[in-house]
Structure 1
Amino acid sequence: MKKFKGYLIDLDGTMYRGSEPIASAADFINALNKKNIPYLFLTNNSTSTPENVSDRLNQMNITSTSRHVITSSLATAKFIKHQKSDANCFVIGEEGLYKALQQEGLTISEEAYGSDYVVVGLDRGVTYKKIAEACIAIRAGAEFISTNRDVSIPTEHGLLPGNGAITSVIEVSTGKHPIYIGKPETIIMNEAISELGVAKQDIVMVGDNYDTDILAGINSGIDTLMVFTGVTPYHEYSSFDKKPNYHVKNLSEWIDHI
């Protein structure tokens, strides 16, 4: 069994479900820390800051600092910064996205028209007016960026519209396809791999969602470890065209391999 020198780890469905930690998640992270193996948490969540996410994990006794967390907002901000360091952005989103862009020194504009980028993240207070302004800006030449493709998000009330649903309204209206940042895209993965500082052949991506976590690893050319404690049920494993390198029912089965 291969020993990995770095871990990229999904959150919802892998570390916790809703407000409850998944059994053995804390033990798994403790085992990584005991062996001084670096790890990062990757999430398509664009609304929370890394500090918010880290605080939530620590409340579940899952060891984390803000530097352990890569959100789709953080990866989006760094991607734009690499493209245009003084970019002017019109934003649909919440605190996590605004703060990530500001921390990279990017300008957030109240006026959509004339912006360099239209950046879309989940916004639970989005208005028709703001969507219309985003469409006008994109038709005028602004680059269209979306933090992730997630069309729905799980909540205690069931599945609710995700950022992909908001993005699709703008995409259909403008006929323009956005650049997506979050899993399963390679953009967030490349950012995480760079931050982790471990050679790709020594990294494994751990997650519960085949369509985001596992495909993100496959698309990025790194090994994958699938757990069946979240979105994708075990009975679907046999139908995967490209199977994960490893799979376990839960993380307790992997701790001895760390």
Structure 2
Amino acid sequence: MHYKGYLIDLDGTIYKGKSRIPAGEAFVHELQAREIPYLFVTNNTTRTPETVRDMLATHFNIETPVSTIYTATLATIDYMNDQNLGKKVYVIGEAGLKEAIEEAGYIIDEEAPDYVVIGLDWQVDYEKFALATLAIQKGAHFIGTNPDLNIPTERGLMPGAGSLIALVEAATRVKPVIIGKPKAIIMDKAIEHLGLAREEVVMVGDNYLTDIRAGIDNGIPTLLVTTGFTKPEEVPTLPIAPTHVVASLAEWDFDA
């Protein structure tokens, strides 16, 4: 199918955990050979775009400019810049999220932040939740980086950023602004980065609930590849069908 641009998920689509997906690598190489614009769109906030670029090159045979990587962290920063409510932020999240926010000119502040940003934090504890709760009660703008309730690991499904966000939402009774897929904020910014109309772009991913709903809910055609989260047997029961479904990205015809 001839699209002028591609928005592409990473884990489960281009690679799976620490394992290669050769068809995913070949898919990206073909986009590059054809000079078709693409943007990797990921809800992951634990890695900086530079770290993602290096990981793709080192482990998955994909050389790509850092400008082709758009994370929920970058979308969060873009959102805060647009809101322009202040420069003080309290963050629950890994070092990659905090460092990116600081590099964008924001100050980490526990006492009187303008924003509370919650992402995945492997070292989260009660005090961090308490500080976030108190700040939001005092009027800080509540932002969740992504709605993923679980993340797959070698040990099984673990609590994701969405689970941490839900705890603070329950404690404050304040609904957060959610940035990541399938929400509009990250998708609007991703489309803006590509500089194309929505109908000219396809969202490629393995997770119906995040990647494919991101396309469906935001007027973007979708390509579901069943190499990751959503299994082939689930496809007939999906509430709204993806525009395209393939078992492997090797099946995709760029010219159809």
TM-score by length of 2: 0.96
- Alignment correspondent of 1:145: 143
The Cα shift of 1:104 comes to: 2.3
The Cα shift of 1:12 comes to: 0.8
Partner of 1:252, secondary structure, is helix
Out of 233, 240, 247, the position equivalent to 2:238 is 240
- Alignment correspondent of 1:87: 87
Contact 1:88 1:108 in 2 (8 A): yes
Q: Does 1:64 align with 2:64?
A: yes
Partner of 1:119, secondary structure, is strand
* Alpha-carbon distance in 1 for matches of 2:88, 2:67: 26
Contact 2:2 2:254 in 1 (8 A): no
Contact 2:85 2:114 in 1 (8 A): no
What are structure 1's unaligned runs of at least 5 residues?
none
The Cα shift of 1:159 comes to: 1.2
Listed as ranges, the matches of 1:155-170 within 5 Å are: 155-170=153-168
The Cα shift of 1:85 comes to: 6.5
Contact 1:26 1:63 in 2 (8 A): no
* Alpha-carbon distance in 1 for matches of 2:85, 2:196: 26
Structure 1 runs of 4+ with >3 Å offset: 255-258
Contact 1:146 1:181 in 2 (8 A): yes
The Cα shift of 1:63 comes to: 2.7
Contact 1:44 1:148 in 2 (8 A): yes
Q: Deviations over 1:156-199 (max 9, x none)?
A: 11111111111111111111111110001011111111111122
Return the letter of the residue paired with 1:18.
G
Identity of aligned residues (%): 47
Q: Deviations over 1:90-110 (max 9, x none)?
A: 11111221122123222221x
Change (3 A) 1:85 1:174: closer
Return the letter of the residue paired with 1:14.
T
The Cα shift of 1:71 comes to: 0.9
Contact 2:4 2:200 in 1 (8 A): yes
Q: Deviations over 1:11-55 (max 9, x none)?
A: 111011111121211111111111110111111111110011111
* Alpha-carbon distance in 1 for matches of 2:232, 2:255: 21
Return the letter of the residue paired with 1:63.
E
Q: Does 1:209 align with 2:194?
A: no
The Cα shift of 1:241 comes to: 1.8
* Alpha-carbon distance in 2 for matches of 1:137, 1:85: 14
Q: Deviations over 1:207-232 (max 9, x none)?
A: 01000000001111111011000000
Contact 1:46 1:122 in 2 (8 A): yes
How many equivalent residue pairs?
255
Return the letter of the residue paired with 2:83.
Q
- Alignment correspondent of 2:98: 98
- Alignment correspondent of 2:192: 194
Q: Deviations over 1:75-123 (max 9, x none)?
A: 10110111016421111111221122123222221x2x32111100111
**The 10-residue stretch of structure 1 (95-104 or 35-44) with the greater mean CA deviation from structure 2:** 95-104
* Alpha-carbon distance in 2 for matches of 1:254, 1:46: 29
* Alpha-carbon distance in 1 for matches of 2:171, 2:84: 26
What are structure 2's unaligned runs of at least 5 residues?
none
* Alpha-carbon distance in 2 for matches of 1:256, 1:176: 45
The Cα shift of 1:256 comes to: 4.6
* Alpha-carbon distance in 1 for matches of 2:116, 2:76: 11
- Alignment correspondent of 2:174: 176
Partner of 2:40, secondary structure, is strand
Out of 212, 218, 227, the position equivalent to 2:216 is 218
Partner of 2:166, secondary structure, is helix
Return the letter of the residue paired with 2:12.
G
Contact 2:207 2:229 in 1 (8 A): yes
- Alignment correspondent of 2:27: 28
TM-score by length of 1: 0.95
Return the letter of the residue paired with 2:232.
Y
Return the letter of the residue paired with 1:13.
G
